[in-house]
Amino acid sequence: MSMPPASPDLSNFWMPFTANRQFKAAPRMFKAAKGMYYTTVDDRTVLDATAGLWCVNAGHGRSEITKAVAEQLDTMDFAPTFQMGHPLAFEAATKVAELMPAGLDRIFFTNSGSESVDTALKIALAYHRARGEGQRTRFIGRERGYHGVGFGGISVGGIAANRKTFSGNLMPHVDHLPHTLNIAEAGFTRGQPTWGAHLADELERLVALHDASTIAAVIVEPLAGSTGVLVPPKGYLERLRELCTKHGILLIFDEVITGFGRLGAPTASAYFGVTPDLLTMAKAINNAAVPMGAVAASRAVHDAVINAGAANAIEFFHGYTYTAHPAAAAAAIATLDIYKRDRLFERAKELSGAFEDAVHELRGAAHVKDIRNLGLVAGVELELRAGAPGARAYDVFLKCFEAGVLVRYTGDILAFSPPLIIEERQIEQIFSTVRDALRSVA
């Protein structure tokens, strides 16, 4: 086996969501990962406070998953799922369905969160069309929503930087709800804020403006992660559900981050007790061992689409070459078995109190403007350095990395989402490292 060069040429790989010039001037590279830790190319150990990119929920290098993938590739590397099938695709769908809220048990596989979002939006349109309401073409997203990088996802998403370059080509017929973050009203709340449920009523305003008969779906992250951990106010998601039902609008929960135990429950829907019509997922579905995503659809949505045409007609013109790829499906089955056997969702729930206490101990630390948390997710918002948005959080991220802890930052918000196998002493290590880093940056 040929080893990768110790110092590879950095010029060819155009890096995603990265300051390429800054990175390539001083690269940070991992070469191995096991359990809670990465190893850097210069043999330093780094505690993973981010589960990779919110995806390695069972911890790194799980041998059961590796074995399942290797055996699958050896047995059958690939099989099409267009007019053909392979048993693991169906088995994986059944295992995913078991973890979904009751009734959301029809599973469409994709390869990423972005693809899951675009798939869900297309299912919503297909559903309304199948029922003779093809004029329902409008989507309602939310400010500060992140729904991946497809044209559908950035259109319903609410992040200016992801939209402005492409603004002439975003999907038409999209409107946005206001986001729910309000530090003045709800700063330093532990768990769900009590302020803000009324913001769901903004949907009534949009319905009054556009008319319900033009609206296909509302899409929100039940807890927004990528834009800095926005925890839904108590009653907010319940109200959105009520209003969607009242107006015949589908509700889509984007659970790419919250699915598979992040909040100490199989899904955020289960955690909050609010069931959407479509639920998107990816990342931890197979512990990120092989790219995979999925959409869970309610039976009503699925059946409306599937039963609309002749039995020999393809009902939904959508799918990916790698939909339910055998290696990804094998990884999903092995991963979901680990979650169950090791009770990792329960473990996340049990640890969430210690995690909450530890992150809130940063209150009063240098530069800290707000702290938000739920389950095993936390965000620490920093005062921004005048004239240099994001610079302070980047400095903290770098200091933490140098001190052996991988955190994530977005704008001036630090985000924490460790693997669910984390131990209390590692939680302490994360936040004491962050505290020291905060002290040391300007």
Q: Mapped to the 3 state alphabet, what secondary structure does the chain carry? A: CCCCCCCCCCCCCCCCCCCHHHHHHCCCCEEEEEECEEEECCCCEEEECCHHHHCCCCCECCHHHHHHHHHHHHHCCCCCCCCCCCHHHHHHHHHHHHHCCCCCCEEEEECCHHHHHHHHHHHHHHHHHHCCCCCCCEEEEECCCCCCCCHHHHHHCCCHHHHHHHHHHCCCCEEEECCCCCHHHHCCCCCCCCCCHHHHHHHHHHHHHHCHHHEEEEEECCCECCCCCECCCCCHHHHHHHHHHHHCCEEEEECCCCCCCCCCCCCHHHHHCCCCCEEEECHHHHCCCCCCEEEEECHHHHHHHHCCCCCCCCCCCCCCCCCCCHHHHHHHHHHHHHHHHCCHHHHHHHHHHHHHHHHHCCCCCCCEEEEEEECCEEEEEECCECCECCHHHHHHHHHHHHCCEECEEECCEEEECCCCCCCHHHHHHHHHHHHHHHHHCC
Least distance from ligand PLP to the Cβ atom of residue 260, Å: 13
Q: Smaller CB distance to ligand PLP: residue 379 or 437?
A: 379
Least distance from ligand PLP to the Cβ atom of residue 142, Å: 11
Interface with ligand PLP (CB under 6 A): 112-114, 117, 146-148, 221, 225-226, 254, 256-257, 282
Q: Closest-CB residue for ligand PLP?
A: 113
Cα–Cα distance measured from residue 118 to residue 302, given in angstroms and rounded to the nearest whole number: 16
Q: Smaller CB distance to ligand PLP: residue 225 or 261?
A: 225
Q: Smaller CB distance to ligand PLP: residue 148 or 196?
A: 148
Least distance from ligand PLP to the Cβ atom of residue 114, Å: 3
Q: Smaller CB distance to ligand PLP: residue 254 or 381?
A: 254
Instruction: Please give the C-alpha separations between residue 259 and each of 265, 281, 295, in angstroms, as whole numbers.
Output: 8, 6, 11
Q: Smaller CB distance to ligand PLP: residue 163 or 439?
A: 163
Q: Smaller CB distance to ligand PLP: residue 226 or 429?
A: 226
Q: Smaller CB distance to ligand PLP: residue 156 or 421?
A: 156
Least distance from ligand PLP to the Cβ atom of residue 158, Å: 12
Burial class (CB in 10 A: 0-12, 13-18, 19+), 379: buried
Least distance from ligand PLP to the Cβ atom of residue 139, Å: 14
Least distance from ligand PLP to the Cβ atom of residue 256, Å: 4
Least distance from ligand PLP to the Cβ atom of residue 221, Å: 5
Q: Smaller CB distance to ligand PLP: residue 48 or 221?
A: 221
In angstroms and rounded to an integer, the radius of gyration of the C-alpha atoms of the chain is 22
Q: Smaller CB distance to ligand PLP: residue 212 or 377?
A: 377
Instruction: Please give the C-alpha separations between residue 7 and each of 4, 23, 29, 158, in angstroms, as whole numbers.
Output: 8, 14, 10, 38
Bridge-based pairing state of the strands 215-220 and 138-142: parallel
Q: Smaller CB distance to ligand PLP: residue 223 or 243?
A: 223
Least distance from ligand PLP to the Cβ atom of residue 146, Å: 5
Least distance from ligand PLP to the Cβ atom of residue 223, Å: 9
Least distance from ligand PLP to the Cβ atom of residue 53, Å: 6
Q: Smaller CB distance to ligand PLP: residue 110 or 429?
A: 110
Least distance from ligand PLP to the Cβ atom of residue 376, Å: 15
